[in-house]
Amino acid sequence: MTEKKREIIGGKTKFNNKLSDSSKQYLLRQAKDQYVRMAIEQGYHSRAAFKLKEINEKRKIIKPGMTVVDLGAAPGGWCQVIKEEMSKDGKGLGGGQIIGLDKIWMQDVEEVLFIKGDFTKDEVLEDLLYKCPEKVNVVLSDMAPETSGHDGTDHLRIMSLVEMAADFALNILKPNGTFLVKIFQGGEEIKFREEMRKKFAKVEFIKPKSSRKGSREVFLLCTKFKG
Protein backbone atom coordinates (compact mmCIF):
# COMPACT_ATOMS: atom_id res chain seq x y z
CA MET A 1 0.00 0.00 0.00
CA THR A 2 3.01 2.30 0.38
CA GLU A 3 2.99 3.06 -3.35
CA LYS A 4 -0.72 3.86 -3.35
CA LYS A 5 -1.09 6.35 -0.51
CA ARG A 6 -3.68 9.11 -0.66
CA GLU A 7 -2.73 12.67 -1.50
CA ILE A 8 -4.19 15.45 0.63
CA ILE A 9 -4.97 18.32 -1.72
CA GLY A 10 -6.84 21.40 -0.55
CA GLY A 11 -8.35 19.53 2.37
CA LYS A 12 -9.74 16.80 0.12
CA THR A 13 -8.50 13.26 -0.35
CA LYS A 14 -7.57 12.10 -3.83
CA PHE A 15 -7.13 8.39 -4.49
CA ASN A 16 -5.44 6.28 -7.09
CA ASN A 17 -8.33 4.71 -9.04
CA LYS A 18 -6.73 1.27 -8.70
CA LEU A 19 -7.41 1.16 -4.94
CA SER A 20 -10.21 -1.09 -3.70
CA ASP A 21 -13.23 0.46 -2.01
CA SER A 22 -12.11 -0.89 1.38
CA SER A 23 -8.66 0.66 0.91
CA LYS A 24 -10.21 4.00 -0.01
CA GLN A 25 -12.42 3.89 3.09
CA TYR A 26 -9.40 3.08 5.27
CA LEU A 27 -7.37 5.98 3.85
CA LEU A 28 -10.29 8.39 4.24
CA ARG A 29 -10.62 7.37 7.88
CA GLN A 30 -6.89 7.81 8.43
CA ALA A 31 -6.91 11.25 6.79
CA LYS A 32 -9.73 12.42 9.10
CA ASP A 33 -8.41 10.76 12.29
CA GLN A 34 -7.23 13.31 14.87
CA TYR A 35 -4.99 10.71 16.56
CA VAL A 36 -3.24 9.92 13.30
CA ARG A 37 -2.53 13.65 12.88
CA MET A 38 -1.40 13.96 16.50
CA ALA A 39 0.92 10.95 16.12
CA ILE A 40 2.56 12.55 13.09
CA GLU A 41 2.88 15.92 14.83
CA GLN A 42 4.32 14.44 18.04
CA GLY A 43 6.61 11.94 16.37
CA TYR A 44 4.93 8.70 17.44
CA HIS A 45 5.16 5.67 15.19
CA SER A 46 1.42 5.01 15.46
CA ARG A 47 -1.87 6.38 16.82
CA ALA A 48 -1.87 3.44 19.27
CA ALA A 49 0.61 5.39 21.39
CA PHE A 50 -2.27 7.48 22.72
CA LYS A 51 -4.10 4.40 24.02
CA LEU A 52 -1.20 3.47 26.29
CA LYS A 53 -0.61 7.12 27.25
CA GLU A 54 -4.21 7.45 28.41
CA ILE A 55 -4.17 4.17 30.36
CA ASN A 56 -0.88 5.08 32.02
CA GLU A 57 -2.10 8.57 32.92
CA LYS A 58 -5.05 6.99 34.73
CA ARG A 59 -3.32 4.05 36.41
CA LYS A 60 0.45 4.86 36.51
CA ILE A 61 1.53 1.36 35.48
CA ILE A 62 4.94 2.34 34.01
CA LYS A 63 7.69 3.91 36.12
CA PRO A 64 11.47 4.44 35.93
CA GLY A 65 13.58 1.40 36.75
CA MET A 66 11.00 -1.15 35.62
CA THR A 67 11.50 -4.02 33.21
CA VAL A 68 8.69 -3.96 30.63
CA VAL A 69 7.88 -6.48 27.88
CA ASP A 70 5.79 -5.24 24.94
CA LEU A 71 4.22 -8.05 22.87
CA GLY A 72 3.02 -7.02 19.41
CA ALA A 73 5.32 -4.01 19.59
CA ALA A 74 5.43 -2.93 15.91
CA PRO A 75 5.43 -0.24 14.67
CA GLY A 76 6.77 1.00 18.01
CA GLY A 77 4.32 3.55 19.40
CA TRP A 78 3.93 1.76 22.71
CA CYS A 79 7.69 1.36 23.12
CA GLN A 80 8.07 5.11 22.61
CA VAL A 81 5.54 5.80 25.37
CA ILE A 82 7.18 3.27 27.70
CA LYS A 83 10.54 4.93 27.17
CA GLU A 84 9.08 8.40 27.83
CA GLU A 85 7.48 7.29 31.08
CA MET A 86 10.57 5.45 32.28
CA SER A 87 12.82 8.43 31.49
CA LYS A 88 10.82 11.15 33.24
CA ASP A 89 13.29 11.53 36.10
CA GLY A 90 16.05 12.47 33.64
CA LYS A 91 18.16 9.39 34.42
CA GLY A 92 17.61 7.38 31.27
CA LEU A 93 15.57 4.26 31.95
CA GLY A 94 16.54 4.41 35.61
CA GLY A 95 18.22 1.02 35.40
CA GLY A 96 15.19 -0.53 33.77
CA GLN A 97 14.80 -2.37 30.49
CA ILE A 98 12.32 -2.42 27.59
CA ILE A 99 11.91 -5.52 25.42
CA GLY A 100 9.67 -5.45 22.36
CA LEU A 101 8.60 -8.40 20.23
CA ASP A 102 6.70 -8.66 16.96
CA LYS A 103 6.66 -10.84 13.87
CA ILE A 104 7.12 -7.77 11.66
CA TRP A 105 9.95 -5.26 11.88
CA MET A 106 9.54 -2.37 14.25
CA GLN A 107 10.98 1.07 13.61
CA ASP A 108 14.00 1.62 15.85
CA VAL A 109 13.33 3.05 19.30
CA GLU A 110 16.55 3.87 21.10
CA GLU A 111 17.23 1.79 24.23
CA VAL A 112 14.62 -0.82 23.29
CA LEU A 113 15.72 -4.42 22.74
CA PHE A 114 13.62 -5.67 19.83
CA ILE A 115 13.07 -9.33 18.95
CA LYS A 116 11.59 -10.15 15.54
CA GLY A 117 9.54 -13.30 15.63
CA ASP A 118 6.13 -14.92 15.99
CA PHE A 119 5.17 -15.12 19.67
CA THR A 120 3.18 -18.32 18.99
CA LYS A 121 6.34 -20.18 17.93
CA ASP A 122 8.19 -22.10 20.64
CA GLU A 123 11.64 -21.04 19.47
CA VAL A 124 10.66 -17.36 19.54
CA LEU A 125 9.21 -17.65 23.03
CA GLU A 126 12.39 -19.38 24.19
CA ASP A 127 14.49 -16.55 22.74
CA LEU A 128 12.30 -13.99 24.52
CA LEU A 129 12.62 -15.81 27.83
CA TYR A 130 16.39 -16.08 27.36
CA LYS A 131 16.73 -12.33 26.81
CA CYS A 132 14.38 -11.37 29.65
CA PRO A 133 15.58 -10.99 33.21
CA GLU A 134 14.33 -13.69 35.56
CA LYS A 135 11.26 -11.62 36.43
CA VAL A 136 9.68 -8.45 35.00
CA ASN A 137 7.40 -5.68 36.30
CA VAL A 138 5.01 -5.23 33.38
CA VAL A 139 3.81 -7.32 30.43
CA LEU A 140 1.86 -5.47 27.73
CA SER A 141 0.14 -7.11 24.78
CA ASP A 142 -1.24 -5.20 21.82
CA MET A 143 -1.17 -8.36 19.70
CA ALA A 144 -4.03 -8.99 17.29
CA PRO A 145 -4.65 -11.66 14.64
CA GLU A 146 -5.18 -10.95 10.99
CA THR A 147 -8.89 -10.15 10.81
CA SER A 148 -11.24 -12.33 8.78
CA GLY A 149 -14.21 -9.94 8.77
CA HIS A 150 -16.22 -12.44 10.83
CA ASP A 151 -16.64 -11.12 14.39
CA GLY A 152 -16.95 -14.51 16.06
CA THR A 153 -13.88 -15.92 14.34
CA ASP A 154 -11.78 -12.83 15.07
CA HIS A 155 -12.86 -12.91 18.72
CA LEU A 156 -11.74 -16.52 19.14
CA ARG A 157 -8.47 -15.83 17.34
CA ILE A 158 -7.55 -12.92 19.58
CA MET A 159 -8.60 -14.83 22.71
CA SER A 160 -6.08 -17.51 21.77
CA LEU A 161 -3.36 -14.82 21.69
CA VAL A 162 -4.69 -13.29 24.91
CA GLU A 163 -4.44 -16.61 26.73
CA MET A 164 -0.90 -17.19 25.46
CA ALA A 165 0.14 -13.70 26.57
CA ALA A 166 -1.45 -14.32 29.98
CA ASP A 167 0.38 -17.61 30.40
CA PHE A 168 3.66 -15.83 29.63
CA ALA A 169 2.83 -13.00 32.07
CA LEU A 170 1.84 -15.34 34.89
CA ASN A 171 5.16 -17.14 34.62
CA ILE A 172 7.44 -14.09 34.40
CA LEU A 173 5.84 -11.28 36.42
CA LYS A 174 7.21 -10.18 39.77
CA PRO A 175 4.79 -10.03 42.72
CA ASN A 176 2.63 -6.88 42.37
CA GLY A 177 3.38 -6.85 38.63
CA THR A 178 1.01 -5.64 35.89
CA PHE A 179 -0.51 -7.28 32.81
CA LEU A 180 -2.31 -5.23 30.14
CA VAL A 181 -3.82 -6.99 27.13
CA LYS A 182 -5.95 -6.02 24.11
CA ILE A 183 -9.17 -7.96 23.52
CA PHE A 184 -11.94 -7.90 20.90
CA GLN A 185 -15.25 -8.21 22.75
CA GLY A 186 -17.35 -11.26 21.98
CA GLY A 187 -18.20 -13.02 25.23
CA GLU A 188 -15.13 -15.05 26.16
CA GLU A 189 -13.45 -11.99 27.67
CA ILE A 190 -15.81 -12.16 30.67
CA LYS A 191 -14.64 -15.67 31.57
CA PHE A 192 -11.05 -14.58 31.06
CA ARG A 193 -11.53 -11.60 33.38
CA GLU A 194 -12.80 -13.92 36.12
CA GLU A 195 -9.76 -16.15 35.72
CA MET A 196 -7.44 -13.16 36.00
CA ARG A 197 -9.20 -12.06 39.19
CA LYS A 198 -7.82 -15.20 40.83
CA LYS A 199 -4.28 -14.06 39.99
CA PHE A 200 -4.42 -10.26 40.40
CA ALA A 201 -5.80 -8.02 43.15
CA LYS A 202 -7.50 -5.68 40.66
CA VAL A 203 -8.82 -6.46 37.17
CA GLU A 204 -10.74 -3.98 35.00
CA PHE A 205 -11.74 -3.30 31.41
CA ILE A 206 -10.60 0.02 29.94
CA LYS A 207 -11.59 1.52 26.59
CA PRO A 208 -9.36 4.51 25.78
CA LYS A 209 -10.85 7.51 24.01
CA SER A 210 -8.45 6.90 21.13
CA SER A 211 -10.01 3.49 20.40
CA ARG A 212 -12.18 4.04 17.36
CA LYS A 213 -15.93 4.42 17.81
CA GLY A 214 -17.72 1.22 16.94
CA SER A 215 -14.59 -0.87 17.52
CA ARG A 216 -14.96 -3.96 19.73
CA GLU A 217 -11.46 -3.32 21.07
CA VAL A 218 -11.02 -3.05 24.84
CA PHE A 219 -8.07 -3.52 27.15
CA LEU A 220 -8.01 -5.67 30.26
CA LEU A 221 -5.77 -4.20 32.94
CA CYS A 222 -4.63 -6.59 35.68
CA THR A 223 -2.63 -5.07 38.52
CA LYS A 224 -0.97 -6.26 41.74
CA PHE A 225 -0.07 -9.79 40.67
CA LYS A 226 -0.42 -12.13 43.60
CA GLY A 227 2.58 -14.23 42.56
Which residues have a catalytic role annotated?
182
Picking from 199, 145, 126, the residue whose alpha carbon sits closest to that of residue 169 is 199
HEC profile for the chain? Answer: CHHHCCEEECCEEECCCCCCHHHHHHHHHHHHCHHHHHHHHHCCCCCCHHHHHHHHHHHCCCCCCCEEEEECCCCCHHHHHHHHHHCCCCCCCCCCEEEEEECCCCCCCCCEEEEECCCCCHHHHHHHHHHCCCCEEEEEECCCCCCCCCHHHHHHHHHHHHHHHHHHHHHHEEEEEEEEEEEECCCHHHHHHHHHHCCEEEEEEECCCCCCCCCCEEEEEEEEECC
Angle at 98 between CA 73 and CA 182, to 5 degrees: 40
